[in-house]
Chain A
Amino acid sequence: MKKQKEERLLTETELELMTLLWKRGEGSVADVIADLPAGRELAYTSVSTILRILEQKEVLTTRKEGRGHVYIPAITKDEYESRTVHHMVERVFDGTPMALARQLLQTTHLSKDELTELKKMIAQLEKRP
């Protein structure tokens, strides 16, 4: 298959497994299964296949360890969050970040501390040349 485009997002299950790996740092298939919440039943082969697909998507890299593989995130959570926001701005908000920001402020309730932090971030951005 051709190289995955950077703007491709992960599926729900892929994101779930990536979140576990981001927390853990790296892990094998068994490690990921062990970290799954109670009641979330995924077969070994399913998790193995999904991690392999994530490797093909270049979101994970692998290291051979003994008879198995250890999977290491190739992108950080921050990078993925940035990618997701970029995707959302381009695809949902017609390339207008302001529309996303407006929607975010209108639909979510930010606490006073969060608003203060947001103002600080805006002030820092304004100081940049």
Chain B
Amino acid sequence: MSMTNLFFSLHLLVVVATLCSFVLRRLSLSSAGELKLHYLILVLALVLPFVLLMNPLDSSFAPLTKSFTAQTLREYDQPFVLQAPVEKIAIGSLAPTGLDVTWLQTLVVGFMLLSLLISLWAVIKEVRSIRHILRDAHVLRRIRKATIVCSDTVSVPFSFLTPWHAWVVIPTSFLTDSSLTLISIYHELQHHRQRDTAWQYVVLTLRALVGVNPFMSLFDKIISEAQELKVDSTLVDEGKVRASDYAQCLLDVATNACVGQKPLVCATGLAFLTDRQSLTRRIENMFQLKKNGSWNVGALAIALTLFMSALAFKTGQAIGSPGLTMEEAQALLTNTPTTFPLEMNGDVLHQLNRTLQTVQGRQEMRQALKRLERHRALVESKIQEYGVPQELIAVPIVESGYRNLAQHENPSHGAGLWMFIQSTARAYGLRVWDGVDERLDEAKETDAAMRLLKAEKIRFGKWPLSVLAYNAGDRVVTKGIFKTGSRNAWVLIRHGYQGDKHYLAKLTAAILIMKNPSLLE
């Protein structure tokens, strides 16, 4: 499933990258600034999907921000006031999209393989072509790690980079015109100085991943144009070449290019862009005064990074797997024996699918269940000791994802596996002072949680109400029972008597998934 989202994310980012680059071309930017922004977009489009693949963000089971949880018996007689608004921070998971991706996954793998193969083949062909050219070429000059050669078999100059050397290839026919030769050499060496030839490999990598995407060719062309414009403006602005001579050279080379060789993907070339529009733009650019650009490149860079990151993040989990229907969920419930009474309703179904339909949700649940195993022996022993339903081993999945979390900066937040707040922890005999926090002692906090759940069960007579009170506080539950006249936890929830929204639904979903781990496959 991750491959599907990676594929989708890469392709969408290439489209967006192309559009952003297209817009940048229209802005009044310096050629240097424009090229840097194009490179930034290129890197973002290539790297972001992989970064998100390797670092999935917490979503469904991020610790909920709670104002209070597990109210103490001691506070029972105080006026019922919520100490702080209950806020939830849930980052990441989208609502389930309901797309059926079984066939899509096969298609995705096929497309990616095809792209890779096509690109690999193109590179192999070009390496052979370049080797053939170099074999019959003649060295004109060696400058440190760069070699300038001339070849009878090429009709336009080009340059390329190997790990050990920089190459400039000039057609032998250019040698009769010293001005043309000189300009060509300056131009190609400038590509090396600007590291354009190195960036070609980054373009090549992206192309290998998304080669079948038609926007990739356009994106490549925009980058190539920006590279050429930067070279042109640098040579003219630094006075190395006169604009008129340069323009003439460009036209002569373009004429050769029309009847000559195909551009190489591994190389940059003086006249690889031979269409009229690009040529016109380049020649016009040469005769314009040096542009400083009226846009702040740094601000644009930040804006682009934020925009593309947000997009990558959203698309990184846009595609999920088929969720459960209500009938399927009902059947699942019926076939799952539990001692804790469970109910299937729209809220529970939503929470189930929220986990099952998103990449992040499934991954987080898998990790939580994995962490549960490390604590299973301890928690089950306490469950048995206090006679609590076995299924409530799932409570820390909802509370902390079975992470032993330290106290947050906000003192009203919980800590530990069971997320006790300070006051409740102290009421149940846990030390939370003088730098000691026994909430992080898993055995002690688990013991306290069992005692609390048991106490609430004694008070309210039903386990669902006990769990509701564990989260919302017994004052909320007491008021709810009084106002609604019902002892059904779901009735209270529907009337707004709850702590964190969807808590019982999340717990129900967690129990069902815990007992049916094949749902995560």
Interface residues of A (CB under 8 A from B): 1-2, 4-5, 8, 11-14, 42-43, 45-46, 49-50, 52-53, 56-57
Contacts and interface: CB of A to CB of B under 8 A. Distances in A.
A80 to B, nearest CB: 16
A13 B176 contact: yes
B136 A46 contact: no
B138 A11 contact: no
Contacts of B137: 1
By CB atoms of chain A within 10 A, which of B134, B139, B149, B172 has the most?
Answer: B172
A55 to B, nearest CB: 9
Contact of B138 (A1, A42, A45): A1
Nearest to B141: A49
Contact of A11 (B134, B152, B177, B178): B152
8 contacts: A2-B136, A13-B173, A13-B175, A14-B172, A46-B175, A46-B181, A49-B140, A49-B150
Nearest to A9: B152
B135 interface: yes
Contacts of A52: 138
Contacts of B176: 13, 42, 46, 50
A43 B172 contact: no
B178 A46 contact: yes
Interface string B173-201: 10111100100000000000000000000
A1 B134 contact: yes
Contacts of A11: 152, 172-173
Contacts of B178: 43, 45-46
A44 to B, nearest CB: 9
Nearest to B139: A1
A111 B172 CA distance: 38
Contacts of A4: 136
A45 B136 CA distance: 22
Q: Which 5 A-B pairs have the closest CB atoms?
A: A43-B178, A53-B138, A56-B138, A13-B176, A46-B175
A4 B137 CA distance: 9
B290 to A, nearest CB: 31
B167 to A, nearest CB: 12
Interface of B: 134-140, 149-150, 152, 172-173, 175-178, 181
Contacts of A14: 172
A43 to B, nearest CB: 4
Contact of A50 (B134, B149, B175): B175
Nearest to A55: B138
Given A49-B140, A53-B150, A1 B135 contact: yes
A98 B172 CA distance: 33
Contacts of A8: 136, 152
A12 B174 CA distance: 12
A52 B430 CA distance: 91
A46 B175 CA distance: 5
A4 B462 CA distance: 94
Contacts of B177: 46
A3 to B, nearest CB: 10
A25 to B, nearest CB: 24
Contacts of B135: 1-2
B136 A1 contact: yes
B134 A49 contact: no
Nearest to B147: A1
B44 to A, nearest CB: 41
Nearest to B179: A43
Contacts of B139: 1, 56
Contacts of A1: 134-139, 149
A74 to B, nearest CB: 16
Contacts of B140: 49
Nearest to A14: B172
A57 B151 CA distance: 12
A14 B177 CA distance: 14
Contacts of A50: 172, 175-176
A51 B399 CA distance: 83
B100 to A, nearest CB: 58
Given A13-B176, A46-B175, A52-B138, 4 more contacts: A1-B136, A2-B135, A11-B172, A49-B150
Contacts of B150: 49, 53
B487 to A, nearest CB: 93
Nearest to A43: B178
A56 B136 CA distance: 10
A14 B135 CA distance: 19
B348 to A, nearest CB: 75
B152 to A, nearest CB: 6
B139 to A, nearest CB: 6
A33 to B, nearest CB: 12
A53 B136 contact: no
Contacts of A42: 176
A44 B468 CA distance: 95
A50 B152 CA distance: 12
A119 B176 CA distance: 42
B154 to A, nearest CB: 12
Contacts of B138: 1, 52-53, 56-57
A4 B225 CA distance: 36
A125 B273 CA distance: 56
Nearest to A42: B176
B260 to A, nearest CB: 14
A118 to B, nearest CB: 33
Contacts of A2: 135-136
Contacts of A56: 138-139
A13 B177 CA distance: 11
B259 to A, nearest CB: 15
Contacts of A45: 178
B134 to A, nearest CB: 7
Contacts of A53: 138, 150, 172, 175
